[in-house]
Amino acid sequence: MGKDVSEFENSCAKYLNVKHAIGCASGTDALQIAMMALGIGAGDEVITTSFTFVATVETIALIGAKPVYVDVEEDSFNMNVAQIEKAITKKTKAIIPVHLYGQSVDMNPLMEVAKKHNLFVIEDMCQAMGAEYNGKKVGTFGDISCTSFFPSKNLGAFGDAGMMYTNDDQLAEKMRMICNH
């Protein structure tokens, strides 16, 4: 959390054109901290895809929420956005689209569904740092986005590391507080 990390956070925020980038220990921590900052917990449901690294679903379970799965598109292996609306219940609090293989989930219709049902969107961009959707970088559509810098990711570190991104000042403050705790 020193000068080098702060400079890296600022560089990442500038690259994605977002207000805040908050570094943390791992992509797994980034996902968990994002949900904690949004107040997601026991009894809540979070829609995501089963075609993802275990951390996406693991973090939903760790905070006491229930993962609800939608299938993927055959050509991209990304979340099939057309299936989201039928998976929504009164307990649904968020959607976690997972951008895979440098490809973006179809974000415009996903964001329309989220807005219609007043749901949070947490983008898991651990496998798509730098990818774009309609000329806009992934990780800039939802309330929060998360990435991992694990050595096997498209932008890797010499060990484990993660980052959360948001344009919301209050969410950024909450995530920093949770990280520093």
Active-site residue numbers? 153
Contact of 40 with 181, CB cutoff 8 Å: no
Three-class SS state of 122 = strand
Separation of alpha carbons 121 and 62, rounded Å: 18
Separation of alpha carbons 49 and 175, rounded Å: 24
Beta bridge partners, 122, equal 144
For 122, phi then psi, to 5°, come to: -115, 110
Contact of 154 with 127, CB cutoff 8 Å: yes
**Residue 91: partners with Cβ closer than 8 Å, 6 or more residues away:** 43, 44, 45, 66
